[in-house]
Structure 1
Amino acid sequence: MATGRRVRLKWVVAAIVLLLAVAGGALWWVLSDRSAPLVNPAPPRLTAAAQLPSQGSTIVVPISTSLDVIEAELNRTIPATLWQIDQREAACIPGQRVTICPVPKRECKNGKCRKVGCKFGLERTKVTPDIACRIVGNARRGPIRLSGSGETLMLHMPVRATVQVRDLGGVIRQETATGAADVRARVRLGLARDWSPTARVEIDYGWSQAPGIDILGRRIRFTGKADEKLAPVIAGLERSLPGALAQLKVRSELDGLWRQGFTAIELNRDKPPAWMRITPQRMGFGGYRVQGRTLELTLAAEALTETFIGDRPADPVATPLPPAAGRIGDRGLRFFIPVLADYAQLEPVVERALTKLARKGVSLEGVGPIDAQFGKVTIYATDGGRLAVGVQAQADARNTPFGAAHGVVWLWGTPYNEPGSQLVKVRDLSIATGTDSRVVNLLVPLFADEQVLATIRDALSHDFGKDYARVLAAARRAVAERREGDFLLSAQIRRVTNGTIRATGQGLFMPVEAEGVARIRYAPVRR
């Protein structure tokens, strides 16, 4: 009986030991976050967010109007009667002169003689008096018309002149002469430093019908008189055109646009939240185009574009509209789109990969097969652009005197990607810094084993393709059309290139540079 009791007691003790072992293992697994010893020191944790360089961008600002509006303004401001004349002319018909020279004066030299005057007779002697008259007339213009194509703006103005000759020598009471001219002007538009419109006008005109009358068998032409009066009118077009263009209210529109340009645009709502902040720097005249009946003045705004990750940045402080700059190059819109992989996305992937490896079994050189269990994985950024990877583990050799070991092992490695690729891998993965000399166990050779390292490396590989496409699509929507007051910003992203991966405090960060074209147009809200 005593022997039976001893046998039963032996089995009870064994069961208790087994239960304690299982309970101890479970207790380690539950408390491992706090109680697992460190096999090697944890690398320092970096918390800084990714910093992106600012970019210089050019945003096109078209201001358009109908040629009809400018035409109407020109026709309103330029008088229909261009000039008037009412003056006494002492010699409407100059007196006739004759030369009668029966004996000419000659000059001879080297045997050759030539006539040099009149020796005896009458030379250019007036035989009839000058006939005076009164000249009364005016010139009226027809409708001014604008046309053009591309950078050529043309102005057309028909002119009709009427000139009356009155009281011609007391013989002819009145004669009327009419003439017609077509004034053509090639106009070059611009903007002064104070944003007021300017115009350079190259005038050309010709009389399709020169004003003149036939009196007493002679033709009297009044083209000279008409030209004399028409010249200052044509020159006045250079003053009238800017006045008509002033109806575009370029300065007032630009004032509003400039102030509202100091803003931030949401590129992505989350994962990660990203913003593009715009700070206008200067603005210049980029030329104009005539298309159909529309005249479009093109301005170019040079701005600083910055990308921020996280909360919306404060709007930059607006500055007054600066004087007009020279022509600004068309570099287009340039900014960064951040693509971010949170470390929390990578940790469970590594955990699952190691658990699968443990089920298959691990055999270490010089040790043989071991029973390994892997627990919580922690990943963050550390010095030198590397990732720190902490793994809780437990190992027990089956056929060697090595005792069971458990603890947290820290590794580090460098994330990288090939140029233009969204596939990120990790190289140079190894145990971080040195091990704690007081902890000598199986975990060191376990995490130096190539099979274990390869499993972690593969699990850390991350394809940014889906994140890249999602964030890019969100950015395209964000800049496609955005209203700021009475102005609409619209942009098209035409080219994207991704940079190299970085380990930051917020996660694995891939900068994507976007390039495109952007326009701001005036589109007031109907109230």
Structure 2
Amino acid sequence: MSRALPKLSPALLALILCAACQQKPVDIAPPRASDPVPAPQEKSLIAVPVDADASALRAAIEQAVPRILWTINRREPRCVAPQKVKIFGGELKVTPPIGCTIVGTVTRGPVSLRGEGREIVADLPIHASISARDVGGVLKGETATGSAMVQARITIDLARDWTPKGTVRLHYDWTAPPGIDFLGQRIRFTDEADAKLRPVVARLERDLPRELSRMNLRGEAEKYWRQAFATLELNRQNPPVWMRISPQKIFYNGYTMRGRSLRLDLGMEAITETFVGDAPAAPRPTALPPLNRAPVRNRLSFHLPVTADYRQLQPVIQRALSKRAARPFDLPGIGPVSARFSNVTCYGATGGRVAVGVDVTARLADSTEDIHGRIWLAARPVNAVNSPRVGFVDPVITGDTDGVSGDMLLAIGRSPGFSSLIASALGQNFAKDIVELKRKIARAIAERREGAFVIHAQADRFDIGQIHAYGQGLHLPVRATGQAQISYRPSGGAAKPTAPSG
């Protein structure tokens, strides 16, 4: 026959259940976070010097300016002045003024181009050959020559739809003004130059846009635009770092003549995104947008994501704690306590905190018994502006121990040196990572080939942001600014340079 259990009072039952709870290990690990490290975006202005062959421009001028600029065929009533003699103190005309026919041709030589600031100068050598004929039977023919260098100063502009237009103004100086000397009189023939060259200017300005369109400036810019959509490998491993460039706008800021090339000063406004881990999807090129007019301030901005995998931080923390274990902890109310640390775990906890779990074996100075348990530190990492030095604020210490002496282990975790020791170890790690990553990225972006185009970049300033603990890693953002440009450089099949390894 079964024996009935005695009826327990509610208070006694609660004490028994509470004691049972204390016998079980309690999961006091802080809850894990799952948020990823964000892919930061920056707006960058990238210089794009587009070189176009100026031979089409020279051909346009050659076609617009005729070889024979003008001809001269006119009757001059006073080619030779009247001759006078003095008789009885007065002057007496002996011969009347002698007229003649002036004939001649003004021609130009080959056109050459050069640049002077924002002006394209087309040098047109001009030669004049002029003759005087039928000079009253006195002269059968007299020929004179002269030369000049006429400068067609051309200014080009581009509309928002990339339609080119040009304005032209002429400047010329006769190096040897053509004329004929007759009995001490110099007859000059330069007065017709302005009138004769004026229609040449009008024709050149009319035909220049059509000829400039043959330079295919829009087509050249489209090639650069498509090639600027790129993903650059900044660091191969530990950790892999990528920068994705996605142009948004294009700007025009004039041009310069360089040798036989016309260099357009273009710039692109691009979104630069930085990724850690696997390579991001390649950016998809968009259509070439309308041309904007603005000064091209060459500025590259991107982030160096110094993101530490928590697993990589565990040995860093373990080494720091092992070094600290060489001397005892002096705990208020308890005295000196020696401690050994093992089995370090580190991860991102909710609320932007770092969770560090560690097994502790502790012993009082006058005891032979070890106390075992596991304590957890959950704290929010902070750093000063532009500093990789890490500190912890709002620390929360929890623990799971093997007996009533667990308070001693919690006291170790709450001692001032414990959390600051871990923070110092992380700060030293980040400072080293930043220096190393700067070096790697400077080498990676110095010159990067993408097909026939080369992206040149240089980071000259680094600003350290605020550290944050994400589920994916402990992240210290570093913003880099510098300069970048894209240029056309056919390689002839040269191999694509590799990015630096981690």
Smaller-chain TM-score bracket:
0.7 to 0.9
1:62 is matched with which residue?
49
Name 1:501's counterpart in structure 2.
467
- What TM-score, normalized by structure 1, do the two folds share? 0.71
Deviation at 1:334, TM superposition (A): 0.7
**Other-structure match for 1:377:** 344
User: Which amino acid is 2:406 matched to?
Assistant: L
TM-score of the pair, normalised by structure 2: 0.75
- One-letter identity of the residue aligned with 1:45: R
Cα distance change, pair 83–203 in 1 and its aligned pair in 2 (3 A): closer
Q: Which residue of 2 aligns with 1:441?
A: 404
State the shift of 1:451 in Å: 7.0
CA contact (8 A) 2:51 2:261 kept: yes
Q: How many angstroms does 1:460 deviate by?
A: 3.5
Q: Which aligned pairs between 1:323-338 and structure 2 lie closer than 5 A?
A: 323-338=290-305
Deviations 1:263-311 (A, max 9, x none): 2111111222111111111212223345677653321111111111121
Bigger drift between 367-376 and 301-310 goes to: 367-376
Q: Counterpart of 2:82?
A: none
Change (3 A) 1:485 1:167: same
Q: Does 1:267 align with 2:234?
A: yes
Letter in 1 for 2:378: W
Cα displacement (A) at 1:172: 9.0
**Contact 1:71–1:145 at 8 Å: present in 2 too?**
no
CA contact (8 A) 1:82 1:230 kept: no
- Asked if 1 retains the 8 angstrom alpha-carbon contact of 2:348 and 2:471, the reply is yes
> Shift of the alpha carbon at 1:509?
1.2
1:521 equivalent in alignment to 2:487: yes
What amino acid sits opposite 1:512 in the alignment?
V
In structure 1, what residue type is equivalent to 2:477?
P
Q: CA deviation at 1:247?
A: 6.5
Residue 426 (structure 1) aligns with: 392
- Residues 472 and 239 (structure 1 numbering): CA distance in 2 closer, same or farther, change over 3 Å? farther
Matched, 1:479 2:445: yes
Structure 1 pair 367–85 and aligned structure 2 pair: CA distance change class (3 A): closer
Distance 1:184-1:334 versus aligned 2 partners, 3 A rule: same
Q: CA deviation at 1:42?
A: 2.7
8 Å CA contact 2:392, 2:419 repeated in 1: no
Residue 169 of structure 2 aligns with which residue?
Answer: 202
Shift of 1:169: 9.9
C-alpha distance after superposition, 1:327-350 (max 9, x if no partner):
244141110111122222332343
Matches within 5 A, 1:172-321: 178-208=145-175, 222-238=189-205, 249-290=216-257, 296-321=263-288
| CA contact 1:85–1:135 (8 Å) conserved in 2 | no
- The higher radius of gyration belongs to 1
Q: Give the secondary structure class of the aligned counterpart of 1:384.
A: coil
3-state DSSP class of the match of 1:325?
strand
Instruction: Check whether the contact 1:430–1:453 (CA below 8 A) recurs between aligned residues.
Output: no
| CA distance in structure 2 between the aligned counterparts of 1:366 and 1:86, rounded to whole angstroms | 118
Which runs of 5 or more structure 2 residues have no equivalent in the other structure?
1-22, 79-95, 494-502
Q: What corresponds to 1:15 in structure 2?
A: none
Structure 1 CA distance, aligned partners of 2:408 and 2:130?
114
Question: What residue ranges of structure 1 are gaps of 5+ in the alignment?
Answer: 1-34, 95-127
The partner residue of 1:454 within 412, 417, 431 is 417
Q: Offset at 1:186?
A: 3.4
Partners of 2:139 and 2:185 in 1: how far apart? 14
Contact 1:395 1:442 in 2 (8 A): no
